[in-house]
Amino acid sequence: MSGAIERPRRRSFAADEIARLLEGRLDASAGAEIPPAVDGVGDLASAGALDVAVVFDAVRGETARASDAGLLVAPAGVELGARAVVRVGNPRAALVVLLELFHPRERRAPGVEVGARVAPGARLGEGVFVAAGATVEDGASLGCGVEIHAGAVVGRGVEIGDESILHPNVVVHSGTRLGARVEIHAGSVIGRPGFGYLREDDGRQRRIPQVGRVEIEDDVEVGALCAIDRATLGVTRIRRGTKIDNLVQIAHNSDIGEDCCLAAQVGVSGSVEVGARSVLLGQVGVADHSRLAPETIVGAQSGVVGRVGPGEWIGYPAIPAPLARRAYGLLAKLPELFRELRRLRRAVDEPSSRDAG
């Protein structure tokens, strides 16, 4: 079967319909020209007469007034002159709705392409797509509407929930479980044996068998070129709704809570617990057995050791952000402070030297 792309038919929307979909209010001031229809979304600089563009705040008001966009979306209080405007409470949320509206996700038509390798013992639900060059091994179970793209490998006994997508060259090792609507981007590896070795008395390293598994819950997205390792025993778990950027490493037996956000190049060591709704910014490193409370934010390039959170933490080792900012503010003054300290010490020592004389 072909697996052709199913492209949703493009639609146009009237200005009042867009206002309704955004739960906003169409504000057409005197002299404003309301476009008969809008068929795209663009930025303020490049949008045309048939596009809608979003104004986030008053700072962008001048740019918006000069924009060629046929329809603007803006919060109340932003003066835009004689323009057709949909007033909304949250313009960023409105942009998301517009992008979904005008750029709905493309899905592959169901079918197994020639050149795909699907083991006889694999179970495929309705509407599954498997691309040429993909491999689905024995005992794997794919839910309804799953997409397996070119070069991806689904190992023995892997379970994948409905509507999940594996992009090209993803490898999901045996024993892994993926929930519904999980999306894993190109080149990521899920369920590789954890990085565990025992150093023998003679200095040689002996691999510790990693016989656990990885479980990724519903609505998780994993970026490109990530690695999530299987547990030594038990489970490495990524909980519902978490979003992981590119080039992230999550080691064995770690537990990432619900609705977390891990930015690019984050490294999570083994047996770490990250509480729900936490955010780890770029290049954060987390030492093994560390614990992050729910709703912890760790600043870029920080290092987490032990227990931290909630709230914002930065630095290495990471400390509460208000304290860290005060400390870092003193760094540039250290030479001056040291000179002053040395002068004061001399002032204290000199009288003592005269008295001794």
Supply the residues annotated as catalytic: 252
Omega before residue 322 within 30° of 0, cis? no
Question: Could you tell me the two tokens for 79?
Answer: 């003066």
Residues 290 and 275 sit within 8 Å (Cβ to Cβ) = no
Bridge partners (DSSP) of residue 222 are: 184, 244
d(C-alpha 305, C-alpha 201), whole Å: 29
Max Cα–Cα distance, the chain, nearest Å: 102
Among 297, 295, 299, 260, residue whose Cα is nearest residue 282: 299
CB atoms within 10 A of CB 283: 16
Contact present, 242 and 261 (Cβ < 8 Å): yes
Residue 333, phi then psi, degrees to nearest 5: -90, -5
Tokens (6 digits) for 338? 């040291």
Give ∠ CA 79-84-85 in degrees, rounded to 5.
Answer: 60
Q: Is 238 helix (H, G, I), strand (E, B) or coil?
A: strand
150 Cβ contact partners less than 8 Å away, ≥ 6 residues apart: 131, 132, 133, 134, 168, 169
Angle at 355 between CA 350 and CA 357, to 5 degrees: 95
CB of 103 closer than 8 Å to CB of 9: no
